[in-house]
Amino acid sequence: MQFGAQGKPPVGIILDADIGAGIDDILALAMVFGLEAKREARLVSISVSRPSLKSAAFAEAVGRFYSGAVSGAFGAVGRTLPVGLRLDGKAPEDLPVITTPLSKRNEKGEVVYAHGIAKENDTAEIPALIRNALTSQHDQNCVVVLTGPATNLADALAIPGITELISKKVRFLSMMGGAYPDGKPEFNIKANIAAAKKLFAEWPTPIIASGVEIGDALLFPASSIESDFAWAPNHPVVDAYRAYQPMPYDTPSWDLSAVLYAGRPQGNYFKLSDPGRITVLDDGRTKFAPAADGKHRYLILDPAQKENIIKAYIELASEKPAVRQPRRRPQQQQVTPPPPPRPPEAKP
């Protein structure tokens, strides 16, 4: 087995994010890499729901920034994870939150945050990407995190056999979307109401939803951007934060809660609702109905934990990538008996 000697690896995270729409998706992405640096989780798939090449390019640039932290958990060891990108739909205007860091150059005129995405076929087809990532995970050792509209995950549900695969591999879906126990239509749900309805109705594992009220109540502090990321002279998350709004500003942390719960479900940062069923109304509002056999819960903010939660957000989002020892492939075994020269091991 891949990790036979050490048992199961840290939980794999499949992240589908609305990169480019705001700053909280980007902070959430940084938190995933923080969990990876602390060996609490591994990013095994990233996909972008905003149909813009620049959004995918930014996601890949962040992955390359954390370099060693990009696990390449499926496919060949050491490769950069392909970035899944939704292509249909009207290409949105690319906002400074991603265009500014992507266009940043150093004093030699070189691009600071390199990426390899220039055209559509530099990105991955999302349903296949997510399915393939799932196949590389140990049973019940994967968490799916959704911080954008439900479009991509709803599409993935159309692949034959994927419901069984998700049930086998995924512990739960941690998603930012809705308002609980009730409230106005929330952005991620409203962006694709049909997909959200399908997701809540058909997703086979437990779903833990983080409502808009959680992020509204917990602001990520600008002071952290000024100080905690200083270990990198150029940091794409810092440059994105600065480009999103005039500094200094504290920002709602909507998507961060979904990552924190995914990575540390036992952390007691949030309270959980009783089980029940979340349905999406035609106007985009979410409705929670308690049910003993329900698979859905939502996060409840415990005011006493506010400080701890913010601290965890900062700790994970600003974490340096861990220095990795080179990973070795399992020893290359003899392929054709009897081969006179023993094949050398493939490079890590």
Partner 1 sequence: MIVTRKALNRRTFLRGMGTAIALPFLDSMTPALAAPTKAPVRMAFVYVPNGIDMANWNPAYEGKLGELPRILKPLEPFRQDITLLGNLTHNWGRVLLDGAGDHGRCSASYLTGVHVRKTMVDIKAGVSCDQIVANKIGHQTRFPSLEVGLEDARQAGDCDSGYSCAYTNNLAWRSDTQPLPPVLDPRMMFERLFGSGLALTPEARARQGRYRRSILDFVTGDTKKLQSDLGPTDKRKLDEYLSSIREVERQIARAEKDNAQIDPHMEKPYGVPADFAEHFKLMSDMITIALQADMTRVVTFLVTREGSNRAYRELGISDGHHPLTHHLGKTDLIEKVIQINTYHVQQFAAWMEKLKAIKEGENSLLDNSMIVYGAGLSDGNRHAHEDLPTLIAGRAGNAIKPGRRVVYRKETPMTNLFLTMMDQMGVHQEHFGDSTGRIDSLTSA
Instruction: Please select the residue that binds partner 1; options are 5, 76, 118, 323, rule is CB under 8 A.
Output: 76
Asked whether position 304 contacts partner 1 by CB under 8 A, the answer is no
User: What token pair was written down for 20?
Assistant: 């480019």
Q: How many residues bind partner 1 (CB under 8 A)?
A: 45
Q: Which of 49, 101, 78, 73 is nearest to 229 (CA)?
A: 101
Asked whether position 219 contacts partner 1 by CB under 8 A, the answer is no
Asked whether position 292 contacts partner 1 by CB under 8 A, the answer is no
Asked whether position 283 contacts partner 1 by CB under 8 A, the answer is no
CA dihedral 310, 315, 317, 323 (to 10 degrees): -170
Q: Is 341 exposed, middle or buried (0-12, 13-18, 19+ CB in 10 A)?
A: exposed
User: Least distance to partner 1 from the beta carbon of 121, Å?
Assistant: 5
Angle value at C-alpha 236, between 12 and 326, nearest 5 degrees: 50
Asked whether position 166 contacts partner 1 by CB under 8 A, the answer is no
Asked whether position 128 contacts partner 1 by CB under 8 A, the answer is yes
Gap between the Cα atoms of 166 and 251, Å rounded:
33
Pair 80, 47: CB distance under 8 Å: no
Instruction: Please select the residue that binds partner 1; options are 90, 108, 110, 342, rule is CB under 8 A.
Output: 342
Nearer to partner 1, 127 or 236 (CB): 127
User: What token pair was written down for 288?
Assistant: 């929670």
User: Least distance to partner 1 from the beta carbon of 159, Å?
Assistant: 6
Asked whether position 34 contacts partner 1 by CB under 8 A, the answer is no
Nearer to partner 1, 12 or 177 (CB): 12
Residues 77-116 that bind partner 1 (CB under 8 A): 77-79, 82, 84
Asked whether position 333 contacts partner 1 by CB under 8 A, the answer is yes
H/E run at residue 298: strand 296-301
